[in-house]
Amino acid sequence: MGSYDASLCAPKGRTAGLDPPVYLSLRPVEALGGLTNAERATVLGAIGFDDAPEPAADAPYPVLTLPMSRLDGQKLCEVWRSPWPVSYGEHHGIRYACNGEVLFGGFCLPEKEPEPVETRTYRAYRRILDLIRVAGYEHLVRMWNYLPRINDEHLGLENYQRFCLGRHQAFTEADYVFDRDLPAASAIGAGTEGLRIYFIASRVPGRQVENPRQVSAYRYPLLYGPRSPSFSRATLTEFGGERQLYLSGTASIVGHETLHPEDAAGQLKETLINIQTVLEESGHSRTKLDELGPDCVLKIYLRHREHFRLAKKTLAETLHPSCPVVFLQGDICRRDLLLEIEGVIRLPRS
């Protein structure tokens, strides 16, 4: 199927219950094959990793395998679920699933030599923005971007800076207001080829959340590239009283500068302070990191494998024992950053 079918993602009417329209769990890859037909019909997408078996490639839902290794030895994948049945389709190479309130999509855009990174990124984002427009899910909530060789430089610009050029152009052409419309996002270096993206979009806008300890990424000075990174620090969504905070890739940055270069322990401590600050800015000042439970998932990317034990120990001492954490090895968007943390955090009902 090459283009969007409007009948697939028409609003279905929400079923009664307390679940948000999309939620994340970590499951063994093999468990996907054991789902009943009813359970299978509620899967929005599956994201695997290089050191785990490929999630069911023949599944109707979006499937993406990230070329990066888990450091904790657990052969698990991300399974994004809906509390009610979903519909599936494909739009110009983007496989998607939707349930009347949210759309989940994912795809890999292969490299075309000698296409610049910014051109490939622009093409990818234009496809995404076209899909969510025609489908009626016009508000991007969260985007995950995985770039090959993210810190490599060509003609004075790193690949991440070139990625930011293409993304910025696509959002600008779509008339995005940067202090209102930007989704939460992360961009991680993974693999040697292909731009991999997955995303969540909604029929209703979430609330863009920024961090008072940091300059908003879309207002960074030219020191970091000709176009600033186009993302918010987090997106807060609310459906029927259920609130989820989609936390962007968060690192040891205060103002716009990296703190604690070459000090993984210092960077991790600063990152956790930033996450707590974003929680408070979302309106949940009483929610602490050590209270986050099994309805939350955090993902930490480490540039160097040797920092895994430090990160695991520190997070075990900081977070509630029931909070799942995924440890992955990947390159961070700045060369002086050793780690970053992102997450999906289910907040207490209002």
Strand 195-202 to 184-189 pairing: unpaired
| Residue of higher predicted confidence among 49 and 19 | 49
**Residue 118 is a catalytic residue:** no
At 4 the pLDDT is 44
What is the C-alpha separation between 15 and 67, in angstroms, rounded?
37
pLDDT bin (cut points 50, 70, 90) of residue 52 is low
Residue-wise pLDDT tens digits, 138-171: 999 999 999 999 999 999 999 999 999 999 999 9
At 258 the pLDDT is 98
At 348 the pLDDT is 82
Sign of CA dihedral 81, 63, 201, 185: positive
- pTM listed for this prediction: 0.94
Q: Does position 66 have pLDDT exceeding 60, yes or no?
A: yes
Question: Which of 318, 311, 317 lies closest to 288 in space, CA to CA?
Answer: 318
Q: Which residues of 36-52 are buried (b: 16+ CB within 10 A; e: fewer)?
A: eeeebbbbbbbbbbeeb
Residue-wise pLDDT tens digits, 233-281: 999 999 878 899 999 999 999 999 999 999 999 999 999 999 999 999 9
Residues with Cβ within 8 Å of residue 149, at least 6 apart in sequence: 159, 189, 192
Share of the chain above pLDDT 70, in %: 93
At 119 the pLDDT is 96
The answer to whether 77 and 46 have CB atoms below 8 angstroms apart is yes
pLDDT bin (cut points 50, 70, 90) of residue 24 is very high
DSSP state of 25: E
DSSP string computed for 280-343: HHTT-TT--GGG--TT-EEEEEESSGGGHHHHHHHHHHHS-TTS-EEEEE-B-SSTT--EEEEE
Lowest mean pLDDT among 2-16, 281-295, 324-338: 2-16
Residue-wise pLDDT tens digits, 95-113: 999 999 999 999 999 988 7
Candidates 210, 242, 340, 342; catalytic one: 340
At 349 the pLDDT is 74
What is the C-alpha separation between 208 and 236, in angstroms, rounded?
7
Residue 53, Cβ density class (10 Å: 0-12 exposed, 13-18 middle, ≥19 buried): middle
Domains of the chain by start residue, with CATH: 23-347 (3.30.1330.40)
